[in-house]
Amino acid sequence: MNRKYRKTVIAGNWKMNQLVSGVKPFMEELKKELPQNKQCDIVLCTPAVMIPAMVKAGKDCKVAAGGQDVSKYEKGAYTGEVSADQLLDAGAKYCIVGHSERRQYHHEDDMLINAKARALLAKGITPIICVGESLEQREMDLTIEHITYQVKAALYGISATELRHCIIAYEPIWAIGTGKTATSEQAQEVCEAIRGVIRKMYGARPARAVSILYGGSMNAKNAEELLAQPDIDGGLIGGASLKPADFAAIVKATDQ
Ligand code: PEP
């Protein structure tokens, strides 16, 4: 982390878990566990139907609500889709785009992810743009090339002013939900490379200011070491965000 230049962000990704009726009790538990003086911004990205409940329950403990996906279209005949305007109206301040599960199960490509990030920015919602390599790509020594492509494509046409409202999340696919975390050296190496790509695209100052998160089996035990890396500015957390005590322990790990 480098708090001098950028925000530390701990974002949970509930995926397709929890219920609307469970938001309030979860947040009551979380409130008890969170430190008083938080050293980071906290977000919980829930299924879209839970966003209003999260906004309400998160108000007095400063936990922001986020979505997990958005349509690239503004509005109209797109059954099942949720627009950026609708997310904004529901109270979302953030939204994940390009999560590997969407890339894999919904065949989302880099162009679509770019369009989604731009749709969010147009409404003032912070996109949390996910990038990450597969195990095969890592073994073939293609990690940096792959990530470079993904970052460049995701940020295509996004201005330096808009970049200030973007977050990048490095999530190696092989580490998501598997219990296999990237070592702090592996995670730092890629996050540093991401900042390097952004530096080439936008210059030193914007690159220095962008928050880059690590995601992939982050938990209470490994968070402190990962967050101690100079280019890792927080975490995107799946499994461990479903238990208030575990999520709060990761928030506490930013207190270093
Ligand atoms: C994720 O889904 O973004 C994630 C990082 O999941 P987990 O923490 O469970 O690996």
Instruction: Render pLDDT for 142-154 as a digit per residue (tens, 0 to 9).
Output: 999 999 999 999 9
Both structure tokens of 198: 């952004």
Ligand 1 atom nearest to 179, measured from its CA:
10
Q: How far is the CA of 217 from the centre of ligand 1 (A)?
A: 6
Residues marked as catalytic: 99, 171
Where does residue 52 rank: exposed (0-12), middle (13-18), buried (19+ CB within 10 A)?
Answer: middle
Is the per-residue pLDDT at 61 higher than 80? yes
Q: How far is the CA of 204 from the centre of ligand 1 (A)?
A: 30
DSSP type of residue 243:
S
Q: Where do the domains of the chain lie, and which CATH numbers do they carry?
A: 9-253 (3.20.20.70)
Lining ligand 1 with CB less than 6 A are 13, 171, 176-177, 215-218, 236-240
31-53 pLDDT per residue, tens: 999 988 778 999 999 999 999 99
- Please state whether the predicted TM-score (pTM) of the whole model is above 0.85: yes
The sign of the dihedral angle between the CA atoms of 95, 124, 251, 191 is positive
Mean of pLDDT over the chain:
96
Which residue owns the Cα nearest ligand 1 atom 8? 238
Q: How far is the CA of 203 from the centre of ligand 1 (A)?
A: 30
Tell me the CA end-to-end span of the chain in Å, nearest whole number: 9
Is the per-residue pLDDT at 171 higher than 80? yes
- Cα 115 to Cα 30: distance, rounded to the nearest angstrom: 34
Is the per-residue pLDDT at 3 higher than 90? no
DSSP type of residue 116:
H
Considering only CA atoms, which of 199, 207, 210, 214 is closest in space to residue 250? 214
- Cα 152 to Cα 1: distance, rounded to the nearest angstrom: 23
